[in-house]
Amino acid sequence: MTRKTRQDGIRTPADLKLRCVVDPDTACWHWKAARDVNNRPSFWFPPIKAVASIGVACAWWKTGKRPEKGSAWHAVCNTPDCANPAHRRCGDRSTQMLALKIVRSPLVRARQAQGKRLHSKLTDADVAAIRGSTMTLQQIMDRYGICRSYACQLRRGVKRATLVAPQSSVFAIGAAMNSLNLKVAA
Protein backbone atom coordinates (compact mmCIF):
# COMPACT_ATOMS: atom_id res chain seq x y z
CA MET A 1 0.00 0.00 0.00
CA THR A 2 1.38 3.36 -0.95
CA ARG A 3 0.98 6.69 0.84
CA LYS A 4 -1.27 7.81 -1.98
CA THR A 5 -3.66 4.91 -1.36
CA ARG A 6 -3.97 5.88 2.26
CA GLN A 7 -4.74 9.49 1.41
CA ASP A 8 -7.32 8.58 -1.19
CA GLY A 9 -8.75 5.66 0.69
CA ILE A 10 -11.90 3.86 -0.33
CA ARG A 11 -15.00 6.04 -0.26
CA THR A 12 -17.55 4.08 -2.27
CA PRO A 13 -18.31 0.48 -3.23
CA ALA A 14 -16.90 1.34 -6.69
CA ASP A 15 -13.57 2.30 -5.06
CA LEU A 16 -13.62 -0.99 -3.20
CA LYS A 17 -14.34 -2.97 -6.36
CA LEU A 18 -11.26 -1.42 -8.02
CA ARG A 19 -9.07 -3.13 -5.38
CA CYS A 20 -10.61 -6.50 -6.10
CA VAL A 21 -10.68 -9.15 -8.77
CA VAL A 22 -14.31 -9.89 -9.61
CA ASP A 23 -15.24 -13.49 -10.21
CA PRO A 24 -17.56 -13.51 -13.26
CA ASP A 25 -19.36 -16.66 -12.13
CA THR A 26 -20.08 -15.87 -8.49
CA ALA A 27 -19.87 -12.03 -8.58
CA CYS A 28 -17.57 -12.32 -5.57
CA TRP A 29 -15.01 -9.56 -5.18
CA HIS A 30 -11.66 -11.04 -4.19
CA TRP A 31 -9.63 -8.50 -2.26
CA LYS A 32 -6.13 -8.01 -3.66
CA ALA A 33 -4.87 -5.05 -1.66
CA ALA A 34 -3.43 -4.54 1.81
CA ARG A 35 -4.14 -6.68 4.86
CA ASP A 36 -3.72 -5.96 8.56
CA VAL A 37 -1.61 -7.95 11.03
CA ASN A 38 -4.44 -10.49 11.33
CA ASN A 39 -4.38 -10.99 7.57
CA ARG A 40 -7.74 -9.29 7.14
CA PRO A 41 -8.40 -6.79 4.33
CA SER A 42 -7.70 -3.34 5.66
CA PHE A 43 -7.86 0.16 4.14
CA TRP A 44 -8.16 3.84 4.93
CA PHE A 45 -11.86 4.74 5.04
CA PRO A 46 -12.35 8.53 4.83
CA PRO A 47 -16.00 8.62 6.07
CA ILE A 48 -14.85 7.55 9.56
CA LYS A 49 -11.30 8.90 9.19
CA ALA A 50 -9.88 5.55 10.24
CA VAL A 51 -8.57 2.28 8.93
CA ALA A 52 -11.50 -0.03 8.33
CA SER A 53 -12.31 -3.59 7.36
CA ILE A 54 -14.72 -4.53 4.58
CA GLY A 55 -17.40 -5.26 7.17
CA VAL A 56 -17.14 -1.80 8.71
CA ALA A 57 -17.33 -0.14 5.29
CA CYS A 58 -20.36 -2.24 4.28
CA ALA A 59 -22.11 -1.34 7.53
CA TRP A 60 -21.42 2.33 6.85
CA TRP A 61 -22.74 2.19 3.29
CA LYS A 62 -25.90 0.34 4.27
CA THR A 63 -26.74 2.06 7.57
CA GLY A 64 -24.72 5.28 7.66
CA LYS A 65 -23.13 4.12 10.90
CA ARG A 66 -20.32 1.95 12.16
CA PRO A 67 -21.48 -1.59 13.00
CA GLU A 68 -23.16 -1.97 16.37
CA LYS A 69 -21.05 -3.52 19.09
CA GLY A 70 -21.23 -7.31 18.82
CA SER A 71 -22.42 -7.28 15.22
CA ALA A 72 -20.40 -8.39 12.23
CA TRP A 73 -21.09 -7.63 8.58
CA HIS A 74 -19.89 -10.90 7.23
CA ALA A 75 -19.90 -12.52 3.81
CA VAL A 76 -22.75 -14.97 3.21
CA CYS A 77 -21.39 -16.33 -0.08
CA ASN A 78 -18.99 -18.85 1.45
CA THR A 79 -16.05 -16.64 0.43
CA PRO A 80 -14.65 -15.23 3.69
CA ASP A 81 -12.89 -12.19 2.22
CA CYS A 82 -15.50 -11.39 -0.40
CA ALA A 83 -15.78 -7.61 -0.55
CA ASN A 84 -18.98 -7.38 -2.58
CA PRO A 85 -21.37 -5.39 -0.32
CA ALA A 86 -24.29 -7.30 -1.89
CA HIS A 87 -22.83 -10.49 -0.39
CA ARG A 88 -22.63 -9.13 3.16
CA ARG A 89 -25.28 -9.25 5.88
CA CYS A 90 -25.43 -7.96 9.40
CA GLY A 91 -25.07 -10.79 11.87
CA ASP A 92 -23.06 -11.66 14.93
CA ARG A 93 -20.08 -13.85 15.64
CA SER A 94 -22.30 -16.90 15.74
CA THR A 95 -23.99 -16.37 12.36
CA GLN A 96 -20.58 -15.53 10.95
CA MET A 97 -19.21 -18.89 12.10
CA LEU A 98 -22.21 -20.63 10.52
CA ALA A 99 -21.96 -18.70 7.25
CA LEU A 100 -18.28 -19.54 6.93
CA LYS A 101 -18.92 -23.13 7.97
CA ILE A 102 -16.22 -22.82 10.62
CA VAL A 103 -16.23 -25.85 12.88
CA ARG A 104 -14.59 -25.34 16.23
CA SER A 105 -12.29 -28.05 17.47
CA PRO A 106 -13.33 -30.08 20.52
CA LEU A 107 -10.60 -28.32 22.49
CA VAL A 108 -11.93 -24.86 21.69
CA ARG A 109 -15.50 -25.98 22.41
CA ALA A 110 -14.42 -27.42 25.77
CA ARG A 111 -12.77 -24.13 26.68
CA GLN A 112 -15.85 -22.14 25.64
CA ALA A 113 -18.17 -24.41 27.59
CA GLN A 114 -15.89 -24.14 30.58
CA GLY A 115 -15.97 -20.35 30.32
CA LYS A 116 -19.78 -20.37 30.27
CA ARG A 117 -19.95 -22.84 33.15
CA LEU A 118 -17.88 -20.62 35.42
CA HIS A 119 -20.99 -18.43 35.55
CA SER A 120 -23.43 -21.31 35.76
CA LYS A 121 -25.45 -21.98 38.87
CA LEU A 122 -24.93 -25.69 38.51
CA THR A 123 -21.76 -27.72 38.57
CA ASP A 124 -21.36 -30.77 36.38
CA ALA A 125 -21.82 -32.82 39.58
CA ASP A 126 -25.22 -31.15 40.11
CA VAL A 127 -26.22 -31.94 36.55
CA ALA A 128 -25.08 -35.54 36.91
CA ALA A 129 -27.11 -35.79 40.15
CA ILE A 130 -30.20 -34.41 38.39
CA ARG A 131 -29.88 -36.93 35.58
CA GLY A 132 -29.34 -39.81 37.97
CA SER A 133 -32.19 -38.97 40.33
CA THR A 134 -35.92 -39.59 40.28
CA MET A 135 -36.73 -36.02 41.34
CA THR A 136 -39.72 -34.41 39.66
CA LEU A 137 -39.20 -31.30 37.58
CA GLN A 138 -40.73 -29.23 40.37
CA GLN A 139 -38.30 -30.66 42.90
CA ILE A 140 -35.36 -29.92 40.59
CA MET A 141 -36.61 -26.36 40.06
CA ASP A 142 -36.99 -25.74 43.79
CA ARG A 143 -33.73 -27.33 44.80
CA TYR A 144 -31.51 -25.64 42.22
CA GLY A 145 -33.44 -22.42 41.65
CA ILE A 146 -33.84 -22.91 37.91
CA CYS A 147 -36.84 -22.56 35.62
CA ARG A 148 -38.93 -25.43 34.30
CA SER A 149 -37.71 -25.39 30.70
CA TYR A 150 -34.06 -25.33 31.76
CA ALA A 151 -34.63 -28.15 34.27
CA CYS A 152 -36.32 -30.17 31.55
CA GLN A 153 -33.55 -29.55 29.02
CA LEU A 154 -30.87 -30.42 31.56
CA ARG A 155 -32.53 -33.69 32.44
CA ARG A 156 -32.99 -34.66 28.80
CA GLY A 157 -29.39 -33.72 28.02
CA VAL A 158 -30.35 -30.99 25.55
CA LYS A 159 -28.37 -28.57 27.70
CA ARG A 160 -25.00 -29.52 29.17
CA ALA A 161 -24.80 -32.61 27.00
CA THR A 162 -21.21 -33.37 27.90
CA LEU A 163 -20.26 -33.70 31.53
CA VAL A 164 -16.68 -34.02 32.61
CA ALA A 165 -14.92 -34.49 35.94
CA PRO A 166 -16.90 -32.19 38.25
CA GLN A 167 -15.63 -28.64 38.76
CA SER A 168 -12.39 -29.19 36.94
CA SER A 169 -11.29 -27.13 33.97
CA VAL A 170 -8.10 -29.14 33.72
CA PHE A 171 -10.08 -32.34 33.24
CA ALA A 172 -12.45 -30.69 30.77
CA ILE A 173 -9.63 -29.66 28.51
CA GLY A 174 -7.82 -32.94 29.09
CA ALA A 175 -10.90 -34.86 27.99
CA ALA A 176 -11.14 -32.82 24.82
CA MET A 177 -7.46 -33.40 24.13
CA ASN A 178 -7.93 -37.12 24.62
CA SER A 179 -10.82 -37.25 22.17
CA LEU A 180 -8.68 -35.35 19.68
CA ASN A 181 -5.78 -37.73 20.13
CA LEU A 182 -8.05 -40.75 19.79
CA LYS A 183 -9.38 -39.42 16.48
CA VAL A 184 -5.88 -38.80 15.22
CA ALA A 185 -4.78 -42.28 16.29
CA ALA A 186 -7.85 -44.04 14.85
Interface with Zn ion (CB under 5 A): 28, 77, 79, 82, 84, 87
Nearer to Zn ion, 24 or 132 (CB): 24
Nearer to Zn ion, 58 or 122 (CB): 58
Nearer to Zn ion, 59 or 82 (CB): 82
Contact criterion met (CB below 8 Å) for 87 and 63: no
Q: State the greatest distance between any 2 C-alpha atoms of the chain, in Å, as a whole number.
A: 72
* Shortest Å distance, C-beta 34 to Zn ion: 20
Nearer to Zn ion, 100 or 135 (CB): 100
* Shortest Å distance, C-beta 87 to Zn ion: 3
Nearer to Zn ion, 75 or 154 (CB): 75
Contact criterion met (CB below 8 Å) for 72 and 55: yes
Give 59: exposed, middle or buried? Use CB within 10 Å, 0-12, 13-18, 19+: buried
Residues 6+ apart with CB under 8 A from 144: 121, 122, 126, 130, 151
* Shortest Å distance, C-beta 56 to Zn ion: 17
Q: Where are the alpha helices (DSSP H) in 12-77?
A: 13-18, 54-63
Other C-beta atoms lying within 10 Å of the C-beta of residue 11: 14
* Shortest Å distance, C-beta 163 to Zn ion: 41
* Shortest Å distance, C-beta 24 to Zn ion: 12
Query: How far apart are alpha carbons 167 and 157 in whole angstroms?
Result: 18
